[in-house]
Amino acid sequence: MSAGVIEQLEAADQSALPLRFQIDPLPGTDKVHRIIVSDQEEFPIALTQSEDELLCMVRLFALDEVPESQLQSLYATLLTGNLSLPFSSFGITQDACYLFGSLSSRSDTTIILQEIVALADNTVQALELVEPFLQQEK
């Protein structure tokens, strides 16, 4: 990942932001950085950069935490929920559900910071939206 973007984010003044965060390289890769948001340590944001795009994503939960009988209802909720979470979208891999946002890799640092804040805020809202589908531990 371009050191320039990471250096700009690390040097950015966070005092005007509604939250604080730290950025660390994800162990084992030089292409992904982990953003730890204060009070949301259990949901780190992964930041990766291609030539044209920055992608920020948060792993929300494993799909095996949802009863199979509820998966279709969950998917419908995620699709409709995308509209109520500006600057973020739900995504599903084979085993997990994510919330992500993307923007141009040429974005100004202020815009990148706003995306990080929006994704962190939206993570809380997304978890509230899907909570009824997650199996309760006994």
Task: Round the CA-based radius of gyration of the chain to a whole number and report it.
Answer: 16
Mean confidence (pLDDT) of the chain: 89
**11 confidence band (pLDDT: 50, 70, 90):** confident
Show the domains of the chain with their CATH numbers: 3-130 (3.30.1460.10)
CA 77 to chain centre: 18
- Cα-flanking dihedrals φ and ψ of residue 28, to 5°? 90, 0
The reported pLDDT for the residue numbered 13 is 82
- Residue ranges of alpha helices (H) inside 25-97 are 71-81
Terminal-residue alpha carbon distance, the chain: 42
- Position 120 scores a pLDDT of 92
Q: What pLDDT shows up at residue 137?
A: 52
The pLDDT, as a whole number, for residue 20 is 85
Kindly give, in sequence order, each residue whose CB lies less than 8 Å from that of residue 68, ignoring residues fewer than 6 positions away. none
pLDDT recorded at residue 136:
60
pLDDT digits 0-9 by tens, 78-128: 999 988 888 899 999 999 999 999 999 888 888 888 888 899 999 999 999
**pLDDT tens per residue, range 34-82:** 999 988 899 999 999 888 899 999 999 999 999 999 999 999 999 999 8
